[in-house]
Amino acid sequence: MASFNRVILLGNVTRDPELRYTPSGTAVTDIGLAVNDYRKGPNGESIEETTFVDVTLWGRTAEVASEYLNKGAPCLIEGRLKLDQWQDKEGQKRSRLKVVGDRLQLLGSKGGGGGGGKGGGNRPPAAYDDAEYGAPANHYGEPRAAASVSQPPEDEIPF
């Protein structure tokens, strides 16, 4: 039987990311994401429901998140669901569903004025895809090709 495990979330970061490294030197950061859902109630009133999701980012994507995201920043995460299971100190079994993010899309400042983030107005390219070693990615997660710029012939310059 085939299966498919893909998640796309658009929301606001709930806490500042804290970057750490594994013993082998791989960057990892955990962020919280608040995702709002709006629906009509039984009396026609608008109801807002917020879901809080834990997201783990790895590699260059984790470094970019740590550098450019802060609490309240909007972002888009694409990844997969993962179930963590453990036993607490009393021997009770615990579990938590989280997202392992493969792709991060920076969406701009909370106020919509551009810039923002910990890095001031110095934003990186908008999409990062860890599958390509953190290389900037296009809308489909593929690496962006280098732009080739050619000069028009002198007789076609419009001035």
Domain assignment of residue 41, yes or no: yes
Domain assignment of residue 57, yes or no: yes
User: What is the 3-class SS of the chain, one letter each residue?
Assistant: CCCCCCEEEEEEECCCCEEEECCCCCEEEEEEEEEEEEEECCCCCEEEEEEEEEEEEEHHHHHHHHHHCCCCCEEEEEEEEEEEEEECCCCCEEEEEEEEEEEEEECCCCCCCCCCCCCCCCCCCCEEEHHHCCCEECCCCCECCCCCCCCCCHHHCCC
Total of domains in the chain: 1
Q: What is the pLDDT of residues 16-34, one digit of tens each?
A: 999 999 999 999 999 999 9
Domain assignment of residue 122, yes or no: yes
Residue from 72, 136, 81 nearest 104 by CA: 136
Is the pLDDT confidence value at 148 over 80? no
Q: Which domain holds residue 93?
A: 7-156
Supply the pLDDT for residue 41: 87
Q: How confident is the model at residue 154 (pLDDT cuts 50, 70, 90)?
A: low
Domain assignment of residue 22, yes or no: yes
Q: What is the CATH number of the domain that holds 89?
A: 2.40.50.140
The pLDDT > 70 percentage for the chain reads: 68
Domain assignment of residue 1, yes or no: no
Q: What is the pLDDT of residues 42-97, one digit of tens each?
A: 898 999 999 999 999 999 999 999 999 999 999 999 999 999 999 998 989 999 99
